[in-house]
Structure 1
Amino acid sequence: TGASKTQAAAEVDAAIDRWVWYAGWADKITAVAGAANPVAGPYFNFSTPEPTGVVAVIAPDSPLLGLVSVIAPAIVTGNTTIIVASEPAPLAAITLAEVLATSDLPGGVVNILTGHRTELAPWLASHMDVNAIDLTGVPDEHVQDLEEKAAGNLKRVHRPTATDWTADPGTARMTAFLETKTVWHPVGV
């Protein structure tokens, strides 16, 4: 990408830290996003987060740290992903795909595509088997068209307002790809 050796090493270190940070949420996100709800009656009421399903992600042009920052929150919450790699700098995504293919990650959890966003994004937005789409890497002039295509099958659409990849990621990206299931259970019956 033209970065110096020092800058590249810093981005790799930040990406590794980001993977570790999100991995730490794997057994905690249910406790944070779920709840035991108080109800007036002889019932227990629990809300638990569940994965949305297949999440399409249009990756940002931040080749490694941005890529990791959009993949990790989607998969740590139990989703599978289809990633459209950064168009001007796809090498980091291609290399990451090789690393993931030889890791303990089950096959099919992360699927990385290279190509033109303007060709791939509309298909992902309108595809009936894609349950959510992250428009992080989409230019502003294409967002409305993709949101309209996604609305055709009630797809969740995530469009973050700020993308400072070096900032604390928070939980918003993880919870964007969760659905809440609420269960009622009688007490004392």
Structure 2
Amino acid sequence: MLKRLFDFVVAGLGLLILFPVMLVVALLIRRRLGSPVLFRQVRPGVSGKPFRMVKFRTMRDALDAQDNPLPDDQRMTPFGAFLRASSLDELPELWNVLKGDMSLVGPRPLLMEYLPLYSAEQYRRHEVRPGVTGWAQINGRNALSWEDKFKLDVWYVENRSFWLDLKILFLTVKKVIRKDGISAAGEATMSKFSGNRP
């Protein structure tokens, strides 16, 4: 209950205080990347229940001859890379926190298509609400391997506490300032998870 109350209050205040920043970011995205300004995608929440996550758009529309999106590195622009490096693209997720779909701290919500690929241990990351930031994010972010990332997610599930959340939020600010672990080696963001079940 304390965690949910904290999430609700901080997300509400964050949306109010950061509204001018979000408005400027939205206008810049509209000018440089076009519409839509927001990126919405269904992601798995607690217990794998789907919800619609909202972020600021960071990539341009670019399709191949078969109308499939080009790889991330070909759609990412310097402006989009800046939004990701500064984590400004994550600000709309405060709305998801306010609604209760997400928490400020928890395992990052990944793709729905990954659900059947997890081992039983890895699936434990869905025992809690997904977060805007998390234990894996302050310990390597996208520079981590999928296996290491999931181990850190499960560690958080087993050791979560209000004080650990405060520590993660504090260290997240430091990580954002230093721009650590923004992408995996040789990737614009992170390579896809293909499963590792025996």
Give the TM-score of the pair, scaled to structure 2: 0.27
Higher strand share: 1
**Which structure carries more relative contact order (alpha carbon 8 Å, separation 6+)?**
1
TM norm structure 1: 0.28
Bigger Cα Rg: 1
Q: Which has the higher helix share?
A: 2
